[in-house]
Amino acid sequence: VLEGDASRLTEIPFSPAGDVDFYRLEGTAGQEWHAILYQLDDAPLPDRAWLAADGTLLANDPTFILPANGVYYVRVRSATHPTGAGPYRVDIFPESAEEARRVDEIEPNDTPAQGQMVAIGQVIQGVANSGDVDHFRFNGQAGDTLALTDPYDDFQNRVEGLQLFGPAMQPIALNGWPN
């Protein structure tokens, strides 16, 4: 159950094939919520639906504004339902939580030495002009899993030239992302 300013990032498989997952949230009229999906293998992006408490389909968009106070559900199922299986990740959060996660890009950050320190889970807001190269740094541990995404386009708009480097500036391959 998600309420108020709660946020949930869940990684789970569709298992068995044909599985459908529901996430319950409570909110107030006019509150804007996001349900961002990430594909974790080569399967198509899962389907998302916003449902009223009685199961009525309200929307399929990544962002939804609650029409009234009450209980709502986010339904997630394989794009090939009822046969699909495999892992996915969903991040469900209200706009107020999104605002708290936003950080503005700070220039200059054109070299690794100038890389702006950010935290895992933050959403970086900035502008990349033609020829602009931006560097960001974060603390991570071996084995950490990262999802790099445009939170408003469900992982479909990819940043050109995105690269990840280790502490000694060694390139790290990104699964599912052209390097």
From the number of C-beta atoms within 10 Å of its C-beta (0-12, 13-18, 19+), residue 74 rates as: buried
Q: From residue 81, give the alpha-carbon distance in Å to each of 76, 78, 179.
A: 10, 5, 31
The C-alpha atoms of residue 148 and residue 161 are separated, in whole angstroms, by 13
CA neighbours within 13 Å on the CB side: how many for 112?
9
Task: Report, as an integer, the average pLDDT of 105-133.
Answer: 84
For the stretch 13-23, pLDDT in tens is 777 778 888 99
For the stretch 52-77, pLDDT in tens is 999 999 999 999 999 999 999 999 98
3-state secondary structure of 75: strand
Where does residue 80 fall: left (phi above 0), alpha (psi -120 to 50 degrees), or beta otherwise?
Answer: alpha
The C-alpha atoms of residue 107 and residue 116 are separated, in whole angstroms, by 8
Amino acid residing at 161? G
For the stretch 75-114, pLDDT in tens is 998 888 888 777 888 888 888 766 777 788 999 999 999 9
List the Cα angle 11/77/55 in 5-degree steps.
115
Q: Which of 47-56, 94-103, 116-125 has the highest mean pLDDT?
A: 47-56
